[in-house]
């Protein structure tokens, strides 16, 4: 299967995110799509030999590139909202059930995203129990919770905020929260 980069230009003009930052971020995402396709093609032409270091490294790298592509898609798709979360809706209630209150969940998610390092903050839903977890993901392919589905994804690699916020990650996280597309998040919760 060949993957195509999705168009997220609708996000240009979003409060707190410059056009330069977004266009650079879209270009980075397109690179993940290109590399996912390239690795898929290379793997299709390789002998399936676990002892071959080239095959093994291509297999490992595929996870990095594919997850980089997919996490960026989740991220861009859960941005662009202008309406705050309905605090009496099902998502807010589930967050409150999981964390004691919506505010406690948000504090935990923000703290997860503010941790030192590069990666992602992801709100996951456990597909077995329905439980919700905020999780740190490192390097796209490290730290995912098996059997869980991403519900809300925030990119906290430097490319997501340095152009506009420098080292002020907390200011970027505040801008992220102002722009969450809660409708997209609620769809993922179902």
pTM attached to this predicted model? 0.95
Rounded CA separation 176/153 (Å): 10
Tens digits of residue pLDDT in 161-175: 999 999 999 999 999
Mean pLDDT of the chain: 95
> For the segment 1-38, what is each residue's pLDDT rounded down to a tens digit?
899 999 999 999 999 999 999 999 999 999 999 999 99
**CATH class of the domain whose range is 17-190:** alpha beta
DSSP annotation string for 148-169: EEEEEEEE-SGGGTHHHHTT-H
Buried/exposed 4-22: b ≥16 CB within 10 Å, e otherwise: ebeebeebeebebbeeebb
* 3-state secondary structure (DSSP) of residue 105: helix
Q: Which of 46-60, 104-118, 133-147 has the highest mean pLDDT?
A: 104-118
Domain locations along the chain: 17-190
């Amino acid at each position: 299967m060949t993957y195509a980069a999705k168009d997220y230009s609708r996000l240009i003009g979003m409060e707190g995110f410059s056009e330069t930052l977004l266009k650079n971020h879209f270009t980075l995402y397109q690179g993940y799509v290109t590399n996912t396709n390239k690795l898929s093609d290379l793997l299709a032409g390789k002998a399936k030999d676990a002892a071959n270091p080239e095959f093994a490294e291509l297999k490992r790298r595929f996870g990095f590139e594919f997850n980089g592509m997919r996490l960026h898609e989740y991220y861009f798709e859960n941005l662009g909202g202008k309406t705050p979360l309905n605090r009496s809706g099902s998502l807010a209630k589930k967050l409150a059930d999981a964390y004691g209150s919506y505010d406690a969940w948000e504090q935990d998610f923000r703290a997860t995203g503010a941790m030192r390092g590069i990666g992602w903050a992801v709100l996951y839903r456990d597909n077995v129990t329905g439980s919700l977890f905020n999780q740190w993901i490192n390097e796209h392919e490290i730290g995912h919770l098996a059997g869980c589905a991403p519900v809300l994804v925030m990119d906290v690699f430097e490319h997501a905020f340095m152009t506009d916020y420098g080292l002020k990650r907390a200011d970027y996280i505040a801008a992220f929260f102002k722009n969450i597309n809660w409708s997209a998040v609620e769809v993922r919760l179902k």
